[in-house]
Structure 1
């Protein structure tokens, strides 16, 4: 009864908040116009009929879409005739997902988690099976999928201790959603134990898809060529989050000249202008990646700080950097994924907060691909030491990073085999 009442209250609250949700999307569309695209899809309305029976993969944002790219490649290797439905919640996810589409595939927004929107979505598309990436478990979606006899898989699944505590706090709402999951393919055994504790019955450990993401060698090579043009080391804050950029700039201003080039690559594109303002307010000369093409101009080569305000170029930035500071780990935000840096052979310095990617971080530390620092000031000092190291330490870390990334590949093939072996729902006439 409590679970029923919580579900009813949750659905009712979301329905009341629907106008505010749409207004928020419209406002975000001022900076990222894709948010204003096809707003009707957010509510489960579609202009024309479509084919049924696609395999549905939901990747909420850019990171999940990149992980999904490895899984999609493995699925297509096993079934070249596979037709996909890709859904996303963010503009960066949808934009990145467009590159994964082939003839016969489709792409749309994930509907708002209200009963009407979800039912319209499932009735219109009638997928044969649903795959949610990493953490995307929604109460209404899971309930309506079960009612429609649609198998649901949580792929590349992860659940931190913090998220488990939060899940238990809202257990009357989230436990039923976890129980309705057909299968969870967890990144680690620790993730699997926490997912079982939330109520999912069938959980298998399959590894982390992010080790299987293909790094664009042309982008890495371009970054390394730019590093040669600069003729000086590059210390980069990679995938930075709120609060980290200002703290880094304050610490950087205290370092003696000459300094390496400082590069900052924010996590969220809507913050690009904000970070540019912070850099200029701190008194540094700024060059923005978005303002040039394949080669940096002369004034950029002389700048003190580069702002990485471009999308889908992280391999370029990791190729450019001598050392990367791991964004999200110097504030209590859980850290970002360091696997991509390792795959590009870039040494990483992590802060104290890495609970979102705890096992990958610990494995990288043990492999010598990364080091942990107590805070941002300590990381800056260690980064400067490594940037001044002509050979041994930095080069050893780079070699360890490549070996670490290579040693953990194979999750995509394992997950693809399991997913394609599951029984699929037959589309209704």
Structure 2
């Protein structure tokens, strides 16, 4: 309890600095200085009370939750379903996927007055957190108010385990406030137990990220993008290499590899999709500095002979996967730990990743066992990347087999959403809520 008290006092003292950080962040992305009241707990009106709140920090988590949220909406039509996020891109994705079928606002800073106001406004029956989103203050307040607590798609890497163990007296009580902790895999379950979670609270329910599907909205967006890419059937169709969710440093590796490839494949089109919107201008500048011709999605121009297409837009990555020939996932060439390779796999696409996919250890193990992915080593990443893309461009059958194998892995592992819904139903039933 003393550690939680210290944590609360520390964050309260840091509140001015946290707000200054958001304002500094807003220099590159103005959305961070908008809706600041929500960061302080003022959930936007109008709102309904007494429902289920699900927290999805950013875009990837929102997409992974789609199937589960749809099941909540279907099974609890009389309860308000609220989805919170912490980033502007996550917020935009929630609006895009669910519109006014859900309530939406930012989750407040984990500071006592802010979280108290948030809970007072919404008075939820249940709070659902995802993966490693542990908010000690908010979680403790929910427990004090007998709000059911569920951690879903629980993920705890060895690195995160080591970090959390350093603040074990704060985190262990936080974990054991949860009524249930549903983990992505047995390995993750083991890590939660090592951190101090009680075994009776922990269940391996599988990974929600497998429960993805293609909807009409994605297919409509695919048609829209295709009109910019394939304008003249008489022209030779260009091969498309898409590099998704890039971070600082990724683009340098990719552009070096791309310039090598151009000598052999001059018609190859590189589609770059930075992870964070505030980096769009920086990435565009980098491409031009490398002497490459560039088109931007935001300009809505038809692609002719440009070498790079910068997808400086939101909510179009899934459709872009559908139009690509080869996909590389960013964040896998540095300490980020990679991004979800299952999304391009859903479209039968061959996927190449860098050496660090630590965020997806179990998924990567299954993909490797099924010969469904190409992973590079840490040595000379640009050279390796150019080599592997070249191999796939020369071997259409290899492209096809990698994509088909990856899709089989996705389909074979679906079902976590149903198991997660069953836990929600059991907890709400124990609390007297009815569907």
Q: TM-score, normalised by structure 2?
A: 0.90
C-alpha change, 1:182 and 1:328, in structure 2 (3 Å) is same
Quick check: 2:257–2:385 contact (8 Å CA) kept in 1? no
C-alpha change, 1:253 and 1:329, in structure 2 (3 Å) is same
Match for residue 398 of structure 1 among 398, 403, 409:
403
- Structure 2 runs not aligned, ≥5 long: none
C-alpha change, 1:373 and 1:101, in structure 2 (3 Å) is closer
Whole-angstrom distance in 2 between the partners of 1:39 and 1:105: 21
Q: Counterpart of 1:370?
A: 373
Q: How is 1:337-356 mapped onto 2 (pairs within 5 angstroms)?
A: 337-356=340-359
Q: Counterpart of 1:45?
A: 42
Q: CA deviation at 1:258?
A: 3.2
Whole-angstrom distance in 2 between the partners of 1:90 and 1:352: 27
C-alpha change, 1:51 and 1:261, in structure 2 (3 Å) is closer
Q: How is 1:281-292 mapped onto 2 (pairs within 5 angstroms)?
A: 281-292=289-300
Whole-angstrom distance in 1 between the partners of 2:264 and 2:6: 60
C-alpha change, 1:46 and 1:320, in structure 2 (3 Å) is closer
Quick check: 1:227–1:320 contact (8 Å CA) kept in 2? no
C-alpha change, 1:196 and 1:224, in structure 2 (3 Å) is farther
Cα displacement string for residues 151-203 of structure 1 (whole angstroms, at most 9, x for unaligned residues) = 11111111111111111122122222112122111111111111122222211
Q: CA deviation at 1:340?
A: 0.5
Quick check: 2:126–2:148 contact (8 Å CA) kept in 1? yes
Cα displacement string for residues 55-106 of structure 1 (whole angstroms, at most 9, x for unaligned residues) = 1111111111112221111222333333212211110111111235466742
Match for residue 382 of structure 1 among 374, 385, 388:
388
Cα displacement string for residues 312-362 of structure 1 (whole angstroms, at most 9, x for unaligned residues) = 111222122211112111112211111101012111112211110111112
Quick check: 1:119–1:144 contact (8 Å CA) kept in 2? yes
Three-state SS of the structure 2 residue aligned to 1:174 is helix
Whole-angstrom distance in 1 between the partners of 2:50 and 2:108: 18
Whole-angstrom distance in 2 between the partners of 1:53 and 1:224: 44
1:119 aligns with 2:116: yes
Q: Counterpart of 2:26?
A: 29
Quick check: 2:43–2:105 contact (8 Å CA) kept in 1? no
Q: Counterpart of 2:273?
A: 265
Q: Counterpart of 2:66?
A: 69
Quick check: 2:348–2:400 contact (8 Å CA) kept in 1? no
C-alpha change, 1:311 and 1:105, in structure 2 (3 Å) is closer
Q: CA deviation at 1:223?
A: 5.7
Whole-angstrom distance in 2 between the partners of 1:307 and 1:199: 45
C-alpha change, 1:360 and 1:226, in structure 2 (3 Å) is farther
Q: CA deviation at 1:374?
A: 1.3
Whole-angstrom distance in 2 between the partners of 1:226 and 1:346: 21
Q: How many residues end up aligned between the 2 structures?
A: 418
Q: Counterpart of 2:307?
A: 304
Match for residue 243 of structure 1 among 230, 249, 257:
249
Q: Counterpart of 1:217?
A: 219
Whole-angstrom distance in 2 between the partners of 1:166 and 1:154: 19
- Structure 1 runs not aligned, ≥5 long: none
Q: Counterpart of 2:207?
A: 208
Q: Counterpart of 1:174?
A: 171
Quick check: 1:368–1:400 contact (8 Å CA) kept in 2? yes
Q: CA deviation at 1:307?
A: 1.1
Cα displacement string for residues 340-389 of structure 1 (whole angstroms, at most 9, x for unaligned residues) = 01012111112211110111112112222211111422122111210222
Q: Counterpart of 2:332?
A: 329
C-alpha change, 1:121 and 1:158, in structure 2 (3 Å) is same
Q: CA deviation at 1:222?
A: 5.5
Further displaced range: 29-38 or 258-267: 29-38
Three-state SS of the structure 1 residue aligned to 2:270 is strand
Quick check: 1:350–1:371 contact (8 Å CA) kept in 2? yes
Whole-angstrom distance in 2 between the partners of 1:224 and 1:100: 21
Further displaced range: 253-262 or 312-321: 253-262
Q: Counterpart of 2:361?
A: 358
Q: Counterpart of 1:280?
A: 288
Q: Counterpart of 1:106?
A: 103
Whole-angstrom distance in 1 between the partners of 2:304 and 2:292: 14
Cα displacement string for residues 285-335 of structure 1 (whole angstroms, at most 9, x for unaligned residues) = 11111111xxx51xx221111112111111222122211112111112211
Whole-angstrom distance in 2 between the partners of 1:168 and 1:113: 20
Whole-angstrom distance in 2 between the partners of 1:104 and 1:320: 30
Whole-angstrom distance in 2 between the partners of 1:343 and 1:166: 33
C-alpha change, 1:185 and 1:46, in structure 2 (3 Å) is closer
Q: TM-score, normalised by structure 1?
A: 0.91
